[in-house]
Chain A
Amino acid sequence: MQHGALSSFSMILLFIIGSALFLLGGLFAAYLLAPRKPNHEKLSTYECGEQPVGHAWGQFNFRFYTLALIFILFEIETVLLFPWAIVFGQKELIEATQGRWAWFAFIEALVFIGLLLAGLLYAWRRGFLDWARPRPKVPSVHSPVPHALYENVNRRYSPPSKQKA
């Protein structure tokens, strides 16, 4: 069965509309079958049984911003690699140019990927690929009494069972 590009895309459109209609049908069935008894408790936001505190639409830490930028670069790279992957090894093109086409296209892609790979390595080295982990600050006490003195006191007054033999 041969189909032009238009009929293929119209078929995809049919699939999208058809599945949406299928879901609407299911929703209609649920509308007929399901009870509708809303009350205040039921409509409140679920927070494990607690009273919800505030709402979720606030500011929050978007920690993977740099990663998202790198992602966009690589995603564009893959989109550009698709046409390359389809033409670089075509037999007719290679034969028409006595093999020069293949090596030219291959090395060109190598340069292209290499540049982005260098970018990835840079981001890797600089730690942009790491989820910014919180580094807890360990509290330290600056006391004029030397630390060893505390230990001596502890050793002296701790019960004999806890003392090291």
Chain B
Amino acid sequence: MDTLLAFGIYLGFVLVNVLIVFYAERKIAAFIQDRMGPTEVGPYGLLQPVADLLKFLQKEDIVPQAADKWLFRIAPFLIFPAVFAGFAVVPIAPPIQHASLETGLLFLLAIVSLDVIGILMAGWASNNKFSLFGAMRSAAQMVSYEVPLTMSLLSVVVLYQSVDLSFIVQMQGSRAPSSLHWLGLPALPADLRAYGGLLTWNIVRFPFLLVPFLVFYITSLAECNRAPFDIPEGESEIIGGYHTEYSGFRFAVFFLAEYGMMILVSLLSVILFFGGWHTPLPNLGFLRLNDWTAAGTSVSGTIWAVVWLSSKMLLLVFFQIVMRWTYPRLRVDQLMTLCWKVLLPIALVSLLFCSLWRLWMVLG
């Protein structure tokens, strides 16, 4: 029963955030292009995403004559569950149950890369040249970004000696199981658990994690097929890429998976670098603000934990959206050069530095 409740909470969390991000995307794009964006449906056009959803449901589901009918129909159903299964290991608040795998991060990276298979399937089954090019570009993109992405996350893993996401979140707040020192050096006297808040976030406690974070952020844009890396679905070159032939609800599923992926990678950033569900406000005197969200005993604390997690995540998504409407699209070979010749060496050096740092932390 608990598990079903958790499933409902996660599904609601993802859907609500997708609606928010969808609305934000249109409004921010409009702002950047000096337009109004949605204004008609509801106050300030707030109900636009709901109207769009209804529209998707009402549209005819066209399966082209030339397509491989079965693969064409199945492909979207492979993509979204792959993304959503990734959410299962992401802790969103202390008392809400999630799949607390000890191999959480490894599992997440593995299952999320499965969606490329769905994309290839969709592109191939459409029997459309644009779709096939989109799918092939997607594969080319995957072989480029995947390695620096994983390497950048290993920098965090070596510092904590764990891939358990809930453990990494716990270590970034006032309720951490072991003492927290700035830079992880026991020689520095203050135990940051007394304050919590912003001070215990990874990015503040280990400022050098900014480098792997930036690498991860750039590669995660490629993972979501977002501009400037929307090579597989570049509208001005190959129409819609792998989803050119899709319409109606099946198109909506691609859409949902893309936005779900944006939310997932931003959540992962928040969890690994920005303190997960912990508030940035420290414990001050009798005001135990950090304990409030970290303890998971009170309902209000849980709600605040979700609110903090979502707002940090939405802030990162905001930058993703701004980037989409600011930067031009890269070519495939530019992406390869960027990933293999720039980001991968940076990620490797950062991994080396972080593992040496870990040795310093332990050996003192």
Contacts and interface: CB of A to CB of B under 8 A. Distances in A.
Nearest to B250: A27
For A23, A52, A60, which residue has the most chain B Cβ atoms within 10 angstroms? A23
Given A22-B11, A26-B57, A68-B143, A78 B151 contact: yes
A5 B80 contact: no
Contacts of A75: 146-147, 150
A55 interface: yes
A56 B129 contact: yes
A43 B65 contact: yes
B30 interface: no
A109 B355 contact: yes
A115 interface: no
Contacts of B154: 78, 81-82, 85
Contacts of A31: 61
Given A45-B128, A56-B128, A19 B102 contact: no
Contacts of B56: 30
Contact of A18 (B7, B250, B355): B7
Contacts of B252: 26
A14 interface: yes
Interface size class of B (residues with CB under 8 A): 35 or more
Contacts of A94: 362-363
Contacts of B150: 75, 78
A37 interface: yes
Contacts of A33: 57-58
Is the contact region of chain A dominated by helix, strand, or loop, or is it mixed?
Answer: helix
Contacts of B61: 30-31, 34, 36
Interface string A74-118: 110011011001111111001000010011001001100100010
B101 A129 contact: no
B344 A29 contact: no
A71 B147 CA distance: 7
A16 B355 contact: no
Interface in B35-94: 56-67, 76-77, 80-81, 84-85, 87-89
Contact of B158 (A11, A18, A88, A129): A88
Contacts of A8: 99-101
B163 interface: yes
Interface string A38-62: 1010111111100010011100101
A63 to B, nearest CB: 8
A129 B342 CA distance: 12
A12 B140 contact: no
For B87, B249, B344, B361, which residue has the most chain A Cβ atoms within 10 angstroms? B249
Interface stretch (B204-212, B220-228, B282-290, B330-338): B330-338
B289 to A, nearest CB: 24
A131 B331 CA distance: 10
A16 B66 contact: no
A18 B11 CA distance: 9
Given A11-B88, A16-B84, A82 B157 contact: yes
Nearest to B131: A56
B341 A124 contact: yes
Interface residues of A, number: 75
Contacts of B185: none
B11 A19 contact: yes
A153 interface: no
Given A12-B89, A19-B80, A89 B358 contact: yes
Contact of B362 (A38, A44, A62, A102): A102
Given A9-B99, A12-B85, A46 B359 contact: no
A47 B64 CA distance: 12
Contact of B333 (A23, A43, A82, A133): A133
A43 B127 CA distance: 12
B355 A129 contact: no
A131 B348 CA distance: 23
Contacts of B363: 94, 99, 102
B78 to A, nearest CB: 9
Given A34-B60, A47-B128, A131-B336, 12 more contacts: A9-B99, A15-B99, A19-B81, A24-B77, A26-B252, A30-B56, A34-B59, A56-B129, A78-B150, A78-B151, A86-B161, A89-B358
A114 B136 CA distance: 31
A60 B132 contact: yes
